[in-house]
Amino acid sequence: MNINENYLNLEESYLFSTVAKKVAQYTSENPDKKVIRLGIGDVTLPLCNAVIGAMHKAVDEMGSQSTFRGYGPEQGYDFLRNAVKNYYLKRNVELDTDEIFISDGAKSDIGNILDLFSKDNAVLVPDPVYPVYVDTNIMAGRKVIFANANEENDFLPLPDKNTKADIIYICSPNNPTGAVYNKEQLKLWVNYAKEQNAIILFDAAYECFVSDENLPKSIFEIEGAKDCAIEFCSLSKTAGFTGTRCGYTIVPKNLGRLNKFWLRRQTTKFNGVPYIVQRGAEAVFSEEGQKEIKENINYYKENAKIISETLTKCGIYYTGGKHSPYIWLKCPNNMKSWEFFDYLLNNIQIVGTPGSGFGQNGEGYFRLTSFGSKENTIEAMKRFEEAFSPAKV
């Protein structure tokens, strides 16, 4: 047998696994220190009541002969697909139920979708970016080119007509920078994709953090996007499903064979999301569920404000935090990303994510998340301010 040698072109371990390993080593060597984790974007608030109630009911159904369910449709139950459909309708995006595919989260589908595309496609990825886009393409041996995101373009690169691309990744609100495209900017990407006969893979995992009604939450709010885009979304950050696992992928029928091919792929390789979880996900879209998840999102936004205010006080450049759970900051004293990571962990026991893990342009930057508890965020920022107040830097 021949092994897939493309794996040799990857970093030895996935960014968040490397961070977790370093933190585990530090905590085992320093058991008396209180480490505050603002690294991986993992939620801390529990599932809301609407979700828990629906899941309890579904558990009971599974325990009774007349309501028990075995294998479900691989693409998701219609009750959940229709709930997603109605959610999009609120923003005037009309979808057909069979354009909506329920998944176990955005990360899996973002990787799996590549089954539909040939190896010789050129892939355009912003730098810095969520490492999954790059790694999954490296695994498949595809050529990846980068669009520079930096302070000059507010971390929102726009299309360059001289760059030829077949598959284009966009994440807005962005992980890691928190930057959000407006409608005009996204329209430029849609036009570019159509000119190039390319496809946009749009990651909307952080859409629920957009609080300005004029900013797009879905690429399908942009005219023409159904002809050139697939959208991935997840309930992980929206409704605290990081451990529960549920998301959805929209493959418009305007994309021709791609919709059928994705169904074919999913029915062959995926057994669907558990019934109990899908009932919980359906409840996220109920009136009560929407109200409850908004309260949780506001809690995280409050944390983002606490972090942002501290950085402002310390005179540290940052972006994000307003329409995103991520705050992207410039490392003080010209420190490199991993150097700053070690400094924070060793001196004030705060864990963040090194910007260089998201790409070359992330070197010298650092990401903090607002997904911690309020108490821990306040405590972390107190330590941060003591270490980096202008008098000390």
Minimum CB distance to ligand MLT smaller for 42 or for 98: 42
Residue span 88-107 as binding mask against ligand MLT, x where in contact by CB under 6 A, dash where not: -------------------x
What does DSSP say about strands 100-103 and 350-351: parallel, antiparallel, or unpaired? unpaired
Minimum CB distance to ligand MLT smaller for 97 or for 373: 373
- Distance (Å, whole) CA 88 – CA 221: 9
Using CA atoms, how far residue 36 sits from 21, 26, 243, 366, 384, in Å, is: 15, 12, 20, 15, 11
Q: Which residues contact 359 (CB under 8 A, 6 or more apart)?
A: 126, 127, 128, 129, 134, 146
Query: H helices of the chain, where?
Result: 15-29, 49-62, 78-89, 106-112, 131-139, 183-196, 236-239, 257-269, 275-284, 287-313, 337-343, 374-388
For the packed helices 275-284 and 49-62, what is the interaxial angle rounded to 10 degrees? Answer: 150
Say how many residues touch ligand MLT, by CB under 6 A. 6
Beta-bridged to residue 365, according to DSSP, are 330
Within residues 115-174, the interface with ligand MLT by CB under 6 A covers 130
Peptide bond into 176 cis (omega under 30): yes
In the complex, the smallest distance separating the C-beta of residue 319 from ligand MLT, rounded to whole angstroms, is: 16
Minimum CB distance to ligand MLT smaller for 77 or for 232: 232
Closest CB to ligand MLT belongs to which residue?
Answer: 41
In the complex, the smallest distance separating the C-beta of residue 175 from ligand MLT, rounded to whole angstroms, is: 5
Residue span 26-65 as binding mask against ligand MLT, x where in contact by CB under 6 A, dash where not: --------------xxx-----------------------
- Distance (Å, whole) CA 308 – CA 303: 9
226 makes contact with ligand MLT (CB under 6 A): no
Minimum CB distance to ligand MLT smaller for 106 or for 250: 106
Beta-bridged to residue 145, according to DSSP, are 124
Minimum CB distance to ligand MLT smaller for 190 or for 281: 281
Structure tokens, 279: 């009932």
The DSSP line for 246-260 is -EEEE--GGGTHHHH
Minimum CB distance to ligand MLT smaller for 130 or for 202: 130
Minimum CB distance to ligand MLT smaller for 105 or for 159: 105
In the complex, the smallest distance separating the C-beta of residue 236 from ligand MLT, rounded to whole angstroms, is: 6
Within residues 171-190, the interface with ligand MLT by CB under 6 A covers 175
Binding site for ligand MLT (CB under 6 A): 40-42, 107, 130, 175
